[in-house]
Copies of this chain bind each other. A is one copy, B any other.
Amino acid sequence: MWMAELAERSGVPVPTVKFYLRERLLPRGEARGATRASYDMAHVRRLRLIRALVDVAGFGLDRVRQVLAVLDDSRTTLHEALAAAHQLLSPEPDIPPSEESRAAVAALLAARDSRADVDGRHATALAAALDAMARAGQPLSADGLARYAAAMADVARAEVGGVLEDDRDEAVTYALLGSILAEPVLLGLRRLAHEDESLRRFTDLAPPS
């Protein structure tokens, strides 16, 4: 496909596509004469991933570049690429998490018999998020954390089941996109559920006049 179709299929405007080409975030197309190049579905997927990282995850170009470098490292297996790229999604906390929160995360992972890395970025980000709750005067109990973990494990189990294994690049891009794009969906559903629960619980106390 030509540039115009690439822009249309990916939803990324032509000037932005050119910018990503110049910044080497997007590989060049196959040259067809002096001024034209042809692109394929790998380019579409790559552009969709860049947009999700920028627009939904709020990444700057540096962090986008790190994620893409992992995908482009052909020495890694599907799992290694997935794990490495995925780790980059979790923010590095400004303040190292407390020992208590680290221990709470370690205890949770042990109780769930999880293979996730207790010193990895997801575990560190979770410990930092627990610290933020404690600092705000609303520490999360071990029971509360376990209940959250069970709900999110149900969600994740269904999601990872959908990852294809035949094309490594496609599989990793698909998994990363799903991971990023589903976050606002999950948070939106939680807010709608709060709205519903709150109406059920408090409306009888204060009926509309």
Contact = CB atoms under 8 A, between A and B. Distances in A.
A155 interface: yes
B155 A151 contact: yes
Query: Which of A128, A149, A174 has the most CB atoms of chain B within a 10 A radius of its CB?
Result: A149
A129 interface: yes
B192 A122 contact: yes
A90 B152 contact: no
A202 B82 contact: yes
B200 A115 contact: yes
Interface string A174-192: 1101110111111111111
A79 B198 contact: yes
Interface stretch (A22-30, A61-69, A130-138): A130-138
Interface in A81-117: 82-83, 86, 89-90, 109, 112, 114-117
Interface of A: 11, 44-45, 48, 51-52, 55-56, 58, 77-80, 82-83, 86, 89-90, 109, 112, 114-117, 120, 122-123, 125-126, 128-130, 132-133, 135-138, 140, 144-145, 147-149, 151-160, 163, 165, 174-175, 177-179, 181-203, 205-206
